[in-house]
Amino acid sequence: MDTIVIGLGGMGSAAAYRLAQRGHSVLGIEQFSPVHNLGSSHGGSRITRQAYFEDPAYVPLLLHAHELWEGIERDSGIDVFHRCGGIMIGEPDSRTVAGSLLSAQKWDLPHELLDAAEIRARFPTMRPADGDIGLYEAGAGFVVPESSVAAHLKLAERAGAELHFEEKVLRWSTSSSGVRVETSHGTYEAAQLVICPGAWAPELLAELGIEFTIERQVQYWFAPSDVSAFQRHPIYIWEGDAGRQFYGFPAVDGSVKVAFFRGGQTCTPETIDRTVHAEEIAAMTEFVRARMPSLPVEFQRAATCMYTNTADEHFVIARHPSRDRVVVACGFSGHGFKFVPVVGEILADLVEGGTAHPIALFDPARLTGAR
C-alpha cells in the first residue's frame, strides 16, 4: 500500500477518496460500520456558510469547498448540499454578526444586512430582539453528513481504495522505511499514514502533545405547528446572552433540528452519556419557544454527538511534527464538516509533499508552544 487512512468518518472518507482518485493504492481502516452514528458525523445536517465569523482565513477554503460538493454529488449521484440561504443573528458587535461581516467584506462575499423588523418580516418564524441585526447569505445552507460519508466511501471504492470496517487500530508506528499499523485483525505496512481520528484523537495522537477537549453535544428535533413555514427556511446561528449561540435548520421530512453551539459537558468516547434527559429537552423547548414560538410544538427525538476542541477552536491539519511519514487532521472543534471535501484534497496534497491551500492557521505548533 502507498497510504493507510485511519478513521473513515467525515474527513477520512474524503482523504481516502482523493488519494485513490490520484492513483495511490489506499487502505482505509474504520473501527465501526460505514456511516455510523457514534462519532461526530451524523444527525442529518451540518451548516455551511462562507462569511465565516471564526476567522477570514477560512474563507478561501470555503469558496473551494462549495465548488467541490458539486463534483462529489455529480460523481456519486448522491445529494449532499442544500443551498437554502443562511442568516447570522445577534447584536451588531456580537462575534456572530461582526465576525461574519468582517469575512464578507474582506472577501467581497454577497450578503445583506437586515434589522430586527426586516428579519421578522422576511422570516416570520423568528423573533429577534429589537437591537439584533442579521447578516443574510444566499449561498449558505446545509450538507448531510451521512450522505457525504456515503458518497466519499462510494467514490473511494470505485477509485480502487480497499476499505475495512469493524476493525480497530490498536497502535501505529513509523520507521525509516515506512509505517506499520496494528489492528484488531492484523498488521499492515505502507509508505505513509493519514490519521483522521475525530474524538479518538487523544488516544491515537497523544504524541502530538495537544490538549483536546471532547465535548458532548445534543441535537434536538421538533415538529412545528405549521411545517410549511419551515420548509423554505434559512439555516441560522443566533447569538444571545453571554455570547451563547443557538442554531437550526429548515424542516427535513417534517422535522426541524435545533442545537446549541458549544457549552456541552466534557467527556470521552467511552464516557459520553448518550441518553438525552427530560430536563435537557424541557430547557431547549423553553429556550426555542422564546425565540421561535411556532416551533417546539412536539418534541420528536434527540441525539448526542462529540466535538473535538482545541484550545483556540481552530483545526489541526499538518504533517506530524515528529513523524514525517504521517499526516494528521483533527481538532475540528465543532465546525469542521463544511470543509470535508477541501480537507480531503489538502490531506492528499500533504501526502504528496505539500499543499497550495492556505493552512497556516492549522499548524499544531501554535498549540504546543513549539512556535
Closest contact distance (angstroms) between CB of 131 and ligand FAD is: 26
Cell (9 digits) for 217: 453535544
Nearer to ligand FAD, 120 or 355 (CB): 355
Residues 108-147: x where in contact with ligand FAD by CB under 6 A, - otherwise, as a string: -------------------------------------x--
Cα distances from 81 to residues 8, 15, 123, in angstroms, run 20, 19, 22
Binding test (CB under 6 A) with ligand FAD, winner from 335, 346, 347, 364: 335
Amino acid at 369: G
Q: Which three cell numbers stand for residue 165?
A: 470496517
Interface mask toward ligand FAD for 43-62; x: CB under 6 A = x--xx---------------
Q: Which is nearer to ligand FAD, 57 or 116 (CB)?
A: 57
* Binding range to ligand FAD, per CB under 6 A, among 72-80, 96-104, 120-128, 195-203: 195-203
- The residues with which 330 forms a beta bridge, in sequence order, are 316
83/369 with CB nearer ligand FAD:
83
For the beta carbon of residue 162, count every other beta carbon within 10 angstroms.
16
Nearest residue to ligand FAD by CB is: 9
Q: Pick from 21, 40, 50, 103 the residue near ligand FAD by CB under 6 A.
A: 40
Q: Is 307 in the site for ligand FAD (CB under 6 A)?
A: yes
Min CB(310)–ligand FAD separation in Å: 11
> Minimal distance in Å, beta carbon 2 to ligand FAD?
19
The rounded distance, in Å, linking the Cα atoms of 353 and 118 is 50
DSSP state string for 144-155: -HHHHHHHHHHH
Among 305, 346, 348, 351, binds ligand FAD (CB under 6 A): 305
* 29 is a site residue for ligand FAD (CB under 6 A): yes
φ/ψ of residue 80, rounded to 5: -125, -45
- Does residue 332 bind ligand FAD (CB under 6 A)? yes
Q: Residue 27: helix, strand or coil by DSSP?
A: strand
Interaction between residue 248 and ligand FAD (CB under 6 A): no
Q: If residue 15 lies in a helix (H) or strand (E), which one and from where to where?
A: helix 10-21
Q: What is the DSSP-derived secondary structure letter of residue 99? A: I
Distance in Å, CB of 130 to ligand FAD, minimum: 28
Nearer to ligand FAD, 128 or 197 (CB): 197
How far apart are alpha carbons 300 and 45 in whole angstroms? 16
Rounded to the nearest angstrom, the gap between the alpha carbon of residue 291 and the centroid of all alpha carbons in its chain is: 25
Tell me the site size for ligand FAD, rule CB under 6 A.
37
For the bound state, the minimum distance from the C-beta of residue 8 to ligand FAD, rounded and expressed in Å, comes to 6
We find the least distance from the C-beta atom of residue 197 to ligand FAD, in angstroms, to be: 4
Q: Which of 21, 31, 50, 255 binds ligand FAD (CB under 6 A)?
A: 31
- Member of 1, 4, 10, 163 binding ligand FAD (CB under 6 A): 10
Number of neighbours of residue 118 by Cβ within 10 angstroms: 15
246 part of the interface to ligand FAD, by CB under 6 A: no
Choices 25-33, 50-58, 64-72, 275-283 (CB under 6 A): range interacting with ligand FAD: 25-33
CA separation for the pair 6, 29 (Å, rounded): 5
Tell whether residue 210 is a contact of ligand FAD (CB under 6 A): no
Beta strand pairing status for 3-6 and 192-195?
Answer: parallel
What cell numbers appear for 79 in the block? 445529494
Helix (H) or strand (E) holding 104: helix 100-106
- Is 361 exposed, middle or buried, given 0-12, 13-18 or 19+ CB atoms closer than 10 A? middle
Q: Which helix (H) or strand (E) holds 260?
A: strand 256-261
Which residue's C-alpha cell is 458549544? 262
**Using the rule CB under 6 A, which residue among 338, 346, 351, 362 binds ligand FAD?**
338
Residue 137 to residues 46, 140, 154, Cα–Cα distance (Å): 16, 6, 31
Site residues (vs ligand FAD, CB under 6 A): 6-12, 29-32, 39-41, 43, 46-47, 145, 168-169, 196-198, 200, 204, 217, 219, 259, 305-307, 332, 334-338
